[in-house]
Structure 1
């Protein structure tokens, strides 16, 4: 483990505390112009989700309908709509990641495709940075980056294929305090769009520090971010269950 990662893990709550948490539940608000392009409402949408911390399993309760939940099992590349009352499968989609092939920037997504995208993304966000210690994930410290009058320390992270994430290679920027400021990636399921994703408004939830404000911008060729953001994510609460 490199020194930067060790520092980052300690600042975010430490591996000992993380090892005690098997599942997290979170209330989040999604908003921004991206969603209407993909067929989801642009109006702020409040979602409750539960994630397993060791397996990429995510459940939204409810999803689109008060009587329905959505369950994503990323390791099986499968999304189910399930009846909230008895957990029976109402609709299912296997091989979900391959369904984005051939789509353009303005192509609408189906409800389960939107759910898959939000689900794997939120699992990654809620398990970062502890995710970097999981099997097959590797990291190394890159060259520092100066932004907003600060020097940010870059961690170059590679993800193995079993983990559903935006792209196999991503860059995470941390301040001297060890807290995440920004992450860069290309969104494989969204025609490879280059993204600069900013985080802030850290809060501590039961011993784990979580950024509660996220804004996603397009990333320019010079590694700067576009002026306007397209996706906003506000995390209202997080708690172990």
Structure 2
């Protein structure tokens, strides 16, 4: 099947599919912030952490995890989270973690495995995109453009298969005239499908690849308009290292 023309340009600008084929993984310094974490009961996640990402399969680690000398390990196929102590011993494990989430309300609290799943699947997808859009089972095609702030952004509609856990299967990605990502829309299954407009800023080139230094997660209405007056989640990346085979 011929690749979507917009996706081909996006891949080229972000480092090229041929170059990405040589990448085995990434390491990033990541900081999480925003009132969402207080709401689900985990304010201790506010610290700089080290994220490692496997470029070929949905696997990531985050350390130190939620205020302790521990590491969260997330794997997507089959879905599983593990918590390791400072010595690398497994102290907690949950298979098929998506099914363990409680019904989401503003009063909902999560346990450590819930946080590990949410941060693991989200950040793996963020760092592997847009190359992820070419992985087996993922479908991407251009849809109608979007006008915002006096600019026209082209959009990719992306569908993820069930063996690649993500916020939800159907998402939309917005690109400017330089083919850089500006926004992504999704509706996480684990937060009652709340409509999200996730904006990205501060693109930086590292070892030939584009990564985004700051992400602000906002709510959006039924017309797609984001409430940018506040951000429930803020993600800051302070550095990325690319690993090649």
Same fold by TM-score, threshold 0.5 exceeded? yes
Q: Which TM class, normalised by the smaller chain length?
A: over 0.9
Q: Which residue of 2 aligns with 1:119?
A: 120
Q: Answer yes or no: is the 8 Å Cα contact 2:32–2:46 preserved in 1.
A: yes
CA distance in 2, matches of 1:66, 1:98: 25
SS of alignment partner, residue 29 of structure 2: strand
Supply the distance in 2 between the matched residues of 1:45 and 1:165 (Cα, whole angstroms). Answer: 24
Counterpart of 1:20 in structure 2 is 22
Corresponding residue number in structure 2 for 1:47: 49
**In the alignment, what sits opposite 1:212?**
213
Find the residue that maps to 1:106 and give its secondary structure.
coil
Give unpaired runs (5+ residues) of structure 2: none
- How far 1:75 moved relative to its partner? 1.1
Q: Are 1:162 and 2:163 matched, yes or no?
A: yes
Separation (CA, whole Å) in 2 of partners of 1:91 and 1:160: 27
**1:74-93 mapped onto 2 (5 Å cutoff):** 74-85=76-87, 87-93=88-94
RMSD after superposition: 1.4
Deviation at 1:62, TM superposition (A): 2.2
State the SS of the aligned residue for 1:135: coil
Post-superposition Cα deviations, 1:111-130, rounded to whole Å, max 9, x if no partner, equal 12111101100000001100
User: What is the alpha-carbon distance in structure 2 between the residues aligned to residue 106 and residue 146 of structure 1?
Assistant: 35
Q: Is the 8 A contact 1:185 1:195 kept in 2?
A: yes
Residues 105, 190 of structure 1: 8 Å contact kept: no
1:240 Cα deviation after fit: 1.9
Number of matched pairs = 240
Give TM-score scaled by structure 2 length: 0.94
Query: What residue is the counterpart of 1:94 in the other structure?
Result: 95
Q: Aligned residue for 1:190?
A: 191
Q: Secondary structure at the match of 2:136?
A: coil
- Structure 1 stretch displaced more, 18-27 or 92-101: 92-101
Structure 1 residues 66 and 34, CA gap change in structure 2 (3 angstroms)? closer
Instruction: Give the match for residue 30 of structure 1.
Output: 32
The answer to whether the 8 A contact 1:31-1:42 is kept is no
Partner Cα separation in structure 2 for residue 21 and residue 83 of structure 1: 28
**Is the CA contact (8 Å cut-off) linking 1:171 and 1:183 kept in structure 2?**
yes
Q: How has the CA–CA distance of structure 1 residues 221 and 65 changed in structure 2, closer, same or farther, with 3 Å as cutoff? A: closer
List per-residue Cα deviations over 1:105-144 (Å, max 9, x = no partner): 3301111211110110000000110000000001111001
Distance (Å, rounded) in 2 between the aligned partners of 1:111 and 1:33: 17
The structural deviation recorded for 1:42 is 7.0
